[in-house]
Amino acid sequence: MNKEEVYQEIKSMFGIVPTFLKMVPDDTLELEWNLMKKIGVEEHAIPNKYKELIGIGISATTKCQYCIFFHTQLAILFGATAEEIEEAIHYAKHTAGWSAYVNGLQLDFEQFKDEITKMCAFVKEAHAEAA
């Protein structure tokens, strides 16, 4: 596809060709657009609403105002509630905080993996017994 064909496809999907896509170099435009459609638009194993909630969490952690706005608007478009959006952000904060803590302490990674594996096995066994 040439640039104008890609722009026409974008416009047919979004109503406009946003500036951030107009700034993509001509020689990679089709590639970037196809990747955006494949990863961001088409639905696969993870429904779009949940992909966008993940995007919100990543965006909040990286502190990108463009991405947080983009992913929040798309999450809403795909049916996310204000409560789900807040939870995604809160979970990102929680994860980033623990990441900073355990990395800062320089915990032994093999010991950490062993303990997490044991914790998960315990929970799995407890659920099996309860069922």
87-124 pLDDT, tens digit each:
999 999 999 999 999 999 999 999 999 999 999 999 99
pLDDT in tens, 30-89: 999 999 999 988 889 999 999 999 999 999 999 999 999 999 999 999 999 999 999 999
Q: Please give the model's pTM, rounded to 2 decimal places.
A: 0.86
Cα angle at 62 between 59 and 63, to 5 degrees?
Answer: 80
Task: For residue 97, give both structure tokens.
Answer: 């905080």
89: how many CB neighbours lie within 10 A of its CB? Answer: 18
Structure tokens at 24: 């993509």
What's the pLDDT score for residue 102? 96
pLDDT of residue 106: 97
Please, what are the domains in the chain? Answer: 1-42 (no CATH), 47-131 (1.20.1290)
Token pair of 43 as six digits: 């639905």
